[in-house]
Amino acid sequence: MYKVCPSFKLCNEERHKSGVLFLLFILTLNLLLSGMNACVECTLDLYPPQVNFPLCTIAHTPRLPEHCVEYAKIMAWPEEEPFGSGVQVDGDDPEHITWIMKKAMDRAAEFGIKGVTYRLTQGVVKHIIPAVASTNAAVAALCSVEVLKVASNFSLGLNNWLNFNNSHGVYTFSYEQERNEDCPRVQSESEDA
């Protein structure tokens, strides 16, 4: 049995010694009822901005494998045009990903950086955030419960926003996200009505 630890490090050491490794995650779940509550566009300012690397770091002082992949995608691709003039990078084309990975590996070797893999290359090119199976399972369970509530009316539904945090124990709360009157979707719904 695990106790709540004041230190994340201590918690992980105890869990590792017992032979059990728990995956920690944070997730949010939104219940969207069109025209009744906040839509995805109303909540976009709650999400973190997309990660972009400074061009000077990519070009002159890469420190991470991701920098090398970005270099191959942003600088080497347009310069060499490996698949013909004007052909854009296609993150779903294995030949494009392989070419970028090879260029990134060359760049990484030049700067003594390790860790460029096909999966990392594809993740950087397509801006993929890795998912954990336990996170997917929690999302599926929460979605199923909310669908059951809405379909059968046996309980009040989610206010419309749920936050689940499993980083230092399990903590969850829900609240009602207000509609943003400046949201283009909300404005178009009010014009249609």
Which positions ≥6 away from 165 have C-beta within 8 Å? 26, 171, 172
In the set 11, 56, 143, 183, the catalytic residue is 56
183 is catalytic: no
- Quickly list H helices, the chain: 8-17, 55-60, 65-71, 77-80, 94-111, 118-126, 133-152, 184-192
Tokens of 95: 């030949």
With beta carbons less than 8 A apart as the criterion, state whether 30 and 177 touch: yes
Q: Which residues are catalytic?
A: 56
